Structures are given as structure tokens and as C-alpha cells.
Amino acid sequence: MEGHELTLAVNHLSPFLLTRLLLPALRRSGAGRVVHTGSSSSDRAGIDPDDLELTRRWRMTRAYARSKLALLMTAIETADQEQRRGVTVNVAHPGLVATNLVRSGGIDQFVWSRLLSRVALTAQRGADTALFAALSPDCAGVTGRYLKRCAPAAPNRRALDTMLRARVLAATERLVGPD
């Protein structure tokens, strides 16, 4: 997603575009499942559909949380649109997972590598909720859910606002461009 704020492009625009491109094949399957990787950082995030790229007051933590909230909101919108076509769309929060995500050096990397990684899940355990959503018979036909620890969780209240979701979806489509 050249030309867009990197955090938004990686966490939201790219998964959105990939999903949009795969939807015809998923519809033909009659039981396609889309599972996006969410984050609990979205739980308290705010969002401005007129500034998804966070051109004002950019901070890494804000950009990350906002990108994950945008992903959650468009996933719920897509789930609503695709439900009759046999495609399910859910968002799975993996939990705190020990990865090499933080490589920036400085205090962030110190906190991550020395402190948080000691209590973090392994990558294998971090995949549990996404695999549950993708493969479990318990999730057949379940759509528009935000999952944590293999169970439905309450999303950010903004994700439940249908008008705001529609605005975020429209803004996302403008950024991604036509099919």
C-alpha cells in the first residue's frame, strides 16, 4: 500500500484489500472464513474517519491502536454484508505474544525484550484464537465477532456504531481505491 502511513497500510489497508480480492472465491466456496488479527489496543482507541492516516498528532501507539480499530470496524461491516453469502469475517486478538515486533531499540525494545516477553505467550499459543476462528466447528457460521482467548469479547463501543463504521469503511475504500 504505497503512499500511505505505514502502520495503517500494514495493519488495516492491506488486510482489507486482500479480503476484498479474495471475497469472490470465498463466496464460491459457500463456507469461506476470514480471520483478521486484531489487538486489544483497539479496545480504547478513538478514530476519525476523515483522518485515518493520523496526519495530526501522530504517535506510534495511537497509529497502531487506530489501525486495529479500523480493521475491526470494517471487518464487522464486511461480516454484515457477506453473511447471506456464506462468508464469515471475524477478528481474533492473539494476546500478548513474544515476537520480534519491537526492534526499534531504546526504551521500547528494552521494555519488550526484558520485561514483557517474560510473560508473553509463545507464537504457537498466540495463534490459538485465530486458528479457533478459522477451523473450529464451533465457529461455523459465526460472523462479525471480536474474539479473545477463543471466546467472543466485547469490542470497542465505536465498532458497534453503524454510522461510524460506514464512514470508516467509505474512508478505507477511498484510500485503497477501486476494485
* Distances, alpha carbon 26 to alpha carbons 77, 83, 141, 145, in Å: 16, 12, 13, 18
pLDDT value at residue 118: 65
Helix, strand or coil, per DSSP, at residue 149? coil
Q: Residue 102 — very low, low, confident or very high, per pLDDT cuts 50/70/90?
A: low
Q: Report how far apart, in Å, the C-alpha atoms of 103 and of each of 7, 100, 115, 134, 178 are.
A: 15, 6, 15, 29, 35
Cell of 61: 501507539
pLDDT at position 77, please? 96
Residue 64 is among the residues annotated as catalytic for this protein: yes
On the question of pLDDT at 18 being above 90, the answer is yes
**Spatial contact of 155 and 73, defined as CB atoms under 8 Å apart:** no
pLDDT at residue 174 tops 90: yes
Q: Is pLDDT above 90 for 112?
A: no
172 pLDDT band, cuts 50/70/90, is very high
- Residues 29-51 pLDDT 10s: 988 999 999 999 999 999 999 99
Side chain identity at residue 28, one-letter code = R
Q: Which of 96-105, 115-124, 126-135 has the highest mean pLDDT?
A: 126-135
pTM of the model: 0.87
pLDDT tens-digit map of 57-93: 888 889 999 999 999 999 999 999 998 999 999 999 9
Lowest-confidence pick of 17-26, 58-67, 151-160 = 58-67
Q: Greater confidence, 60 or 154? A: 154
pLDDT, greater one: 169 or 31:
169
Amino acid at 86: G
Q: Which of 16, 64, 132, 146 is catalytic?
A: 64
6-176 folds as Rossmann fold (3.40.50)
